[in-house]
Amino acid sequence: MGLDDALIFTRVVECHSFTLAAQGLGMQKSTVSRRIALLEERLGVRLLNRTTRKLRLTEVGQAYYERCRQIMLDFAEAEQAVMQLQQAPSGLLRITAPIEFGQLFLGRVLGAFMRQYPQIDAEVELTSRHVDPVEEGVDIAILVGAPQDSTLIARRLFQTARRLCASPDYLKRHGTPRQVSELAGHRAILLPNDSPRHWPLLDAQIACRRVLTSNNITFAREAALAGAGIASLPVMISEEAIRDGRLIELLPGARMPIGEVYAVYPSRRFQAMKVKTFLDFLMQAMPVEEGRLLEPSAAGLLISVP
């Protein structure tokens, strides 16, 4: 059954007139009449008995009309439900994010968001793997680095600036480098994309002694706090330790790699209100300074909830 034909037939029955139905549908009367005739021919039944003055449903036409009318009501209800979803955030919001970002920021931001919008439910996976939001049915994937898939929409959230840090105990035992060249031979705590032989610097190639590589930046920080070596840590997890003296920032003028974190989602067209509203909420809640995400306890993560 063609939905258009069902709509035309329903309008004709409810208007009791081909002429009025055609006017309401913005069609020619002859077109409406032809479509009903083709519908009857396809079904192999007569739906309407026509006279010059009135239309009368046949028995099978009455049964067909009742089914078509229910379909039209269901269709209208579906449209209304979709429009309501676009008017206020509701439904299930599926998010994936890097582990540390989720632990430090996403939990409290999402919690405040759900308090403000109680019709939102959420599923969150914290993971270090790369997630394809289309393939995995995710509404928002928070990723380090811009996605290569041009069909995805990527919204940059912040930069992940890094700096060299070591504990006072390590520096007491191994000496404090005062210039970049003095990093040579120091014990290095590295992240997976770093070179195993050189410090992650943009302007110089200085040899290091790799003693530890970890795919978890919190783990790398804890190793640095324990005196294992010098770590290249993002601001977002080192700010507080530097402020209270548990870590010392080294060579603040040295240029370190800057990563970028993106919120990635399948499409901007007909974007669900829950996705748009949460991304705006997230951007406003993040303690970002000059594009860098600061540690929440150092910058203050302020979330206002009505």
Q: Is residue 270 scored above 60 in pLDDT?
A: no
Q: Following CA atoms 302, 116, 128, 138 in sequence, which dihedral angle do they give, to the nearest 10 degrees? A: -150
Q: Is residue 221 scored above 80 in pLDDT?
A: yes
How far apart are alpha carbons 74 and 146 in whole angstroms?
Answer: 41
For residues 163 and 232, the answer to whether their CB atoms sit within 8 Å is yes
Other C-beta atoms within 10 Å of 139: how many?
22
Q: Is residue 1 scored above 80 in pLDDT?
A: no
Least confident of 47-51, 136-140, 143-147, 247-251: 143-147
Beta bridge partners of 122: 93
For residues 223 and 189, the answer to whether their CB atoms sit within 8 Å is yes
C-alpha distances (whole Å) from 264 to each of 107, 151, 286 are 18, 10, 17
Max CA pair span of the chain: 106
Each residue's pLDDT tens digit, 50-68: 876 778 899 998 998 888 8
Least confident of 7-11, 84-88, 275-279: 84-88
Q: What are 29's two structure tokens?
A: 């009367």
pLDDT number for residue 241: 92
Q: Would the CA dihedral through 239, 241, 244, 246 be positive or negative?
A: negative
Domains of the chain with bracketed CATH = 3-87 (1.10.10.10), 91-158+260-299 (3.40.190.10), 160-258 (3.40.190.10)
For residues 294 and 235, the answer to whether their CB atoms sit within 8 Å is yes
DSSP H helices, the chain, are 3-15, 18-25, 29-43, 59-87, 99-101, 107-116, 133-136, 168-174, 217-225, 235-243, 273-285, 296-299
Helix axes 217-225, 235-243, angle to 10 degrees: 20
Strand-strand pairing, 230-234 and 187-190: parallel
For residues 243 and 184, the answer to whether their CB atoms sit within 8 Å is no
How does residue 290 score in pLDDT terms, banded at 50, 70 and 90?
A: low
Show the CA angle centred on residue 162, arms to residues 100 and 153, nearest 5°: 60
